[in-house]
């Protein structure tokens, strides 16, 4: 079984390399910069419908100079995606067990393995995200929609899942409703999470820069923050994505 798992990982990496060098389509779209990475993660969370597969190491960022608001947003996006999905399968390295059993738990099932081959998110077997350095999403990610590569990654996860140890823990309590997003602020939230500049967002929404700025202020007030990163995290926490 271990050989099968290793073979699936090699298959996934081979598929990525092949898709990058053959045909017209690249293997995926590189996304760099905290703002654009945050937008990509929010988009993944919002698009999740029935399944979320991950290789995850929640302690990998320890000791790295990653802004706390980014970590908050990334965590909130993963929780939002997990709460949307009917099936959540998360594979984590054994050394991360205390973290999984503590405050960073997310809904769904989790299994332990000695190591993970790379960090990975697969949503509904249609789109995947892998860190460009295979370690930290903050350093950039590859957003993959090529069906062959996505299926290869899902297969690698499947084989690792079959050899991993089931982790049982008491799930966190359900979230309390936080009210609905005011309709006039929905396009502003979408624009804020898209990673575009305020000037571009205002133009797309047909607003003046002053009106857009005022609407952003209203959104921040509704979310109880003045930080755009924390606004994204709070929107995810409230289920507004």
Model confidence at 184: pLDDT above 70: yes
Decide: 215 and 185 in contact? Cβ < 8 Å.
Answer: yes
Q: How confident is the model at residue 12 (pLDDT cuts 50, 70, 90)?
A: low
Segment 91-126, tens digit of pLDDT? 999 988 877 765 556 778 899 999 999 999 999 999
User: 3-class SS at 142?
Assistant: strand
Cα dist from 78 to 49, 82, 187, 195, 201, whole Å: 13, 6, 22, 18, 25
Residue 174, CA atoms < 13 Å, CB-side half-sphere? 4
Rounded distance, CA 54 to CA 110, Å? Answer: 9
Helix/strand/coil for 1: coil
pTM of the shown model: 0.70
pLDDT tens digits along 166-175: 987 555 555 5
- Asked if 233 and 69 touch (Cβ cutoff 8 Å), the reply is yes
The pair of three-digit structure tokens given for residue 25, joined into one six-digit string: 């389509």
Q: With contact defined as beta carbons under 8 Å apart, do 81 and 45 qualify?
A: yes
* 49-105 pLDDT, tens digit each: 999 999 999 888 877 888 888 888 888 888 888 888 999 999 999 988 877 765 556
CA atoms of 110 and 171, how far apart (whole Å): 11
In this structure, what token pair is assigned to residue 175? 């979230």
Q: What are the structure tokens assigned to 232, written together?
A: 């994204």
Q: What are phi and psi of 173, to 5 degrees?
A: -65, 150
Half-sphere exposure of 71 (CA within 13 A, CB side): 14
């Amino acid at each position: 079984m271990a050989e099968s798992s290793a073979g699936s990982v090699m298959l996934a990496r081979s598929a990525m390399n092949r898709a990058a060098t053959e045909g017209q389509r690249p293997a995926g779209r590189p996304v760099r910069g905290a703002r654009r990475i945050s937008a990509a993660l929010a988009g993944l969370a919002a698009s999740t419908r029935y399944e979320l597969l991950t290789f995850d190491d929640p302690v990998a960022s320890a000791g790295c100079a990653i802004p706390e608001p980014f970590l908050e947003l990334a965590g909130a996006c993963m929780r939002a995606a997990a709460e949307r999905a009917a099936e959540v399968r998360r594979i984590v390295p054994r050394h991360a067990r205390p973290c999984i059993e503590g405050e960073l738990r997310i809904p769904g099932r989790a299994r332990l393995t000695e190591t993970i081959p790379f960090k990975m998110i697969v949503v509904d077997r249609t789109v995947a995200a892998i860190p460009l350095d295979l370690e930290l999403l903050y350093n950039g990610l590859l957003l993959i929609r090529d069906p062959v590569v996505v299926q290869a990654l899902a297969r690698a996860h499947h084989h690792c899942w079959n050899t991993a140890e089931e982790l049982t823990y008491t799930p966190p309590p359900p979230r309390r409703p936080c009210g609905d997003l005011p309709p006039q602020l929905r396009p502003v939230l979408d624009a804020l999470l898209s990673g575009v500049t305020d000037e571009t967002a205002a133009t797309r929404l047909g607003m003046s820069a002053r009106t857009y700025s005022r609407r952003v202020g209203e959104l921040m007030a509704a979310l109880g923050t003045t930080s755009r990163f924390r606004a994204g995290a709070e929107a995810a926490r409230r289920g507004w994505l």
